[in-house]
Amino acid sequence: MASRGDVVGVDACPSGWVAVTLRGGAFAGAETAGGLSDLLARVGDVAVVAVDMPLGLLESGSRRAEVLAAGLLGAQRSRVFPVPPRQVWEQPDYDAANACCRRLTGAGLSRQSWGLAAKLREANALRDGGDHRFHEVHPEVSFAAMGDGAPVAWSKKGWNGQAVRRRLLADQGIVLPDDLGPAGRVPSDDVLDAAAAAWSAHRIALGTAVSLPAPPETSDTGLPIAIWH
């Protein structure tokens, strides 16, 4: 059972969502579920939920959070994808969303970005519905912060990149066990991203986290838009 002081980091994965819980800044468990509400029910009453998913959309224009995150990552800026306005995400299929994105922004929408649509809507619905424990994070920004501002050069998909990220987490006191139980069936990079999100969640709970931008922008629903680390 979770303690009210626990925090959780959440990342999307092929089977749904994966969460890493921290207690006192140390690893306290990992869970996975097909739906985000089910996942939160499994982790219990945590203080902060940091999720690797855009939270807060604009009616038009670009979110400053992505612009600043891309600048922070420098040569690795392609790891940050632009988040188009809300209307794009409300379209029924990729072709309609792509056409809407071109009309509103002058640029198309990648199929990879559209693949996040259902989960993006799911996460935003929970926050817009009143769960203000939710904070947006970007794992690569978090890993860069752990590394004194230097982005990880290696891809998170390969051995070198995963080894570096696991070491960065361990240096912060987050030691991931070799056996995660059922959550261990989730791809390794998604678990690492959830753990990085949890690191940021712990900083948010302590009041030491930094937001991009600072102060945050405001979404069309009146909630903050920022990437925290």
The 10s digit of each residue's pLDDT in 112-123 is 999 999 999 999
Q: So what's the pLDDT on residue 123? A: 97
pLDDT in tens, 10-32: 999 999 999 999 999 999 999 99
pLDDT, tens digit, 9 for 90 and up, residues 140-153? 999 999 998 899 99
pLDDT above 70: residue 2 = no
- Give the pLDDT of residue 1: 46
Is residue 213 classed exposed, middle or buried when 0-12, 13-18 and 19+ CB atoms within 10 A define those classes? middle
The confidence score (pLDDT) of residue 4 equals 57
pLDDT in tens, 163-212: 999 999 999 999 999 999 999 999 999 999 999 999 999 999 999 999 99
Q: So what's the pLDDT on residue 5?
A: 85
Tell me the per-residue pLDDT of 54-94, one tens digit each, with 9 for 90 and over.
999 999 888 999 999 999 998 888 999 889 999 999 999 99
The pLDDT, as a whole number, for residue 3 is: 55
Q: What pTM, to 2 d.p., does this model score? A: 0.95
Task: Enumerate long-range contacts of 122-131, CB under 8 Å, 24 or more apart.
Answer: 122/35, 122/36, 123/36, 123/51, 123/53, 123/55, 124/54, 124/55, 124/56, 124/57, 126/36, 126/37, 126/40, 127/55, 127/56, 127/223, 128/221, 128/223, 131/49
54 neighbors 127 (Cβ within 8 angstroms)? no
pLDDT at 105 over 80: yes
CB-count exposure of residue 159 (10 Å: 0-12, 13-18, 19+): exposed
State what percent of residues in the chain have pLDDT above 90. 91
- Of residues 137 and 5, more confidence is placed in 137
